[in-house]
Structure 1
Amino acid sequence: MMTTENKPLSSVQEEVDTWIKEFGVRYFNELTNMAQLTEEVGEVARIIARRYGEQSEKDSDKSKDLGEELADVLFVVVCLANQTGVDLQSAWRARMDKKTSRDKDRHKNNEKLQ
């Protein structure tokens, strides 16, 4: 049996679609989801800036879970993919293949990373 941790992206897309149909009534439109994605990314940025950056972390931010916020970003990305007909598994594979062929030596040869 496949667990959530090792599901292919196509299964994640199906899980989100099922959840939307059962509990979410329908997808928000694409523009609303884009605004929602921006909001969620902002929440991730706030945690990173305060927890790992130079800004001090407010008491109200200390209980925020970075993993949960990243999962919120992923959820909205999956919603956008579903409603626009993007197969994330295929897109991911194509992106990783392209990055691998294009960048296979780039980072190894970057003196800044040595």
Structure 2
Amino acid sequence: MTDITPWPTPLTVENLQSIVDRWIRTHGVRYFSEMTNLAVLVEEVGEVARIMARTYGEQSVKGKKETSDLGDELADVLFVLVCIANQTGVNLESAIARNLEKKTARDSKRHHDNPKLTG
């Protein structure tokens, strides 16, 4: 894709949000509605779940042509998640920082005392 090169180094979440926005406006014409993107996100997460169930779980593969590129499916999830963040005005970099601070304050000792994890 010539419209996003050169790829920013390092790739930050903020850069990714800009790249996705530029791609949508150039190639996608406009964002789908927030509710449509939520449905697309659920669909993409389902594709990740299918691969996980068949690769790491006990579910059998249905046919030889079934694809199982976990990285590609995770990238699809991230892309749609970034679309939703962009169209709802969420700065993911700031949100992730706040979320990790919250988790650290809440969970810094909790998991160390869990015998299921330490035993």
What TM-score do you get using the length of structure 1 for normalisation? 0.91
In the alignment, the residues of structure 2 paired with residue 78 and residue 110 of structure 1 have an alpha-carbon distance, to the nearest angstrom, of: 34
Provide the residue aligned with 1:60 in structure 2: 65
Provide the residue aligned with 2:19 in structure 1: 15
* Aligned positions, number: 111
Give yes or no for contact 2:44–2:73 (8 Å, CA) kept in 1: yes
Using CA pairs under 8 Å that are at least 6 residues apart, name the structure with larger relative contact order, 1 or 2: 1
The 3-state SS of whatever aligns with 2:112 is coil
After TM superposition, the structure 1 = structure 2 runs for residues 1-114 of structure 1, keeping only pairs within 5 Å, are: 2-3=8-9, 6-58=10-62, 59-61=64-66, 63-114=67-118
TM-superposed CA distance for 1:106, in Å, is 1.1
User: What letter matches 2:43 in structure 1?
Assistant: E
Give yes or no for contact 2:8–2:15 (8 Å, CA) kept in 1: no
The 3-state SS of whatever aligns with 1:53 is coil
Q: Which runs of 4+ in 1 moved over 4 A?
A: none
Structure 2 residues not aligned, in runs of 5+: 1-6
Structure 1 residues not aligned, in runs of 5+: none
RMSD: 1.3
